[in-house]
Chains A and B, each alone.
Chain A
């Protein structure tokens, strides 16, 4: 597609429920990133996929968080047993293989606003 697509755009869930967030990167972008941004805060790195390499999961805050990506396509971020502190905007970004070293940086999706009540 023309841009990074994320769904749903908004999600309200009850504490303790599982949620699944979806990211569809720009076609041909081999790298995909998930970030979390709490209200008024900076970007918090969660996980990074690069092609078929093992993902960099170093930012996942707990074992309730997991993400998958098949090949160079769609990724899903799953949060199990949601807590109120999980409320945030979850942003997905993608880049071409050398994009960040060729001046192109990342392209972000518009995010999923998650509210845990």
Chain B
């Protein structure tokens, strides 16, 4: 089983739709969680960190479910510009400061 797993998609949704992605992780000692966005032929950019209590940034909401070992990203009122690949990344507690990456979920928002 991979350490971090994502549904690769693609998710094809119309503008204005709400879409959600999950990312599961295998190590129960995982401590820090992130969602990154990667546009085609560009580098990944931090979208948001995921906090234990969940957090929201505009149309984006991130949640952490420790019991089931997954994080989620909810995008409301999808825009064409949200089309990208969404990567989740996980860090295990301790001195290791290396993120473990999922392979990404592809989202296409259609007019």
Q: What is A's interface to B at a CB cutoff of 8 Å?
A: 31, 33, 41-43, 45, 48, 50, 56, 91, 95, 97-101, 103-111
With contacts A42-B104, A45-B98, A101-B91 known, is A110 near B32, CB below 8 A?
no
Tell me if A103 and B49 are in contact (CB < 8 A).
yes
- Kindly state the separation between the CA atoms of A42 and B23 in the bound complex, as whole angstroms: 14
Interface check B1, CB cutoff 8 A: no
- Residues of chain B lying within 8 A (CB to CB) of residue A107: 46
Tell me if B98 and A43 are in contact (CB < 8 A).
no
- Kindly state the separation between the CA atoms of A110 and B9 in the bound complex, as whole angstroms: 25
Interface range, B side: 20 to 34
Contact of B99 among A50, A91, A105 (CB under 8 A): A105
* A-contacting 9-mer, from B11-19, B36-44, B67-75, B76-84: B36-44
Tell me if B42 and A110 are in contact (CB < 8 A).
yes
Tell me if A31 and B97 are in contact (CB < 8 A).
yes
Output the nearest chain B residue to A6 by Cβ-Cβ distance.
B43
Output the nearest chain B residue to A42 by Cβ-Cβ distance.
B103
A112: min CB distance to chain B, Å: 11
- Kindly state the separation between the CA atoms of A56 and B46 in the bound complex, as whole angstroms: 23
Interface check B101, CB cutoff 8 A: yes
- Residues of chain A lying within 8 A (CB to CB) of residue B101: 42-43, 45
- Kindly state the separation between the CA atoms of A93 and B97 in the bound complex, as whole angstroms: 12
- Residues of chain A lying within 8 A (CB to CB) of residue B36: 105
B26: min CB distance to chain A, Å: 16
Tell me if A105 and B31 are in contact (CB < 8 A).
no
- Residues of chain A lying within 8 A (CB to CB) of residue B97: 31, 48, 50, 95, 97-101
- Residues of chain A lying within 8 A (CB to CB) of residue B99: 100, 105-106
- Residues of chain A lying within 8 A (CB to CB) of residue B34: 100, 105
- Kindly state the separation between the CA atoms of A109 and B99 in the bound complex, as whole angstroms: 16
- Kindly state the separation between the CA atoms of A31 and B96 in the bound complex, as whole angstroms: 11
- Residues of chain B lying within 8 A (CB to CB) of residue A97: 97
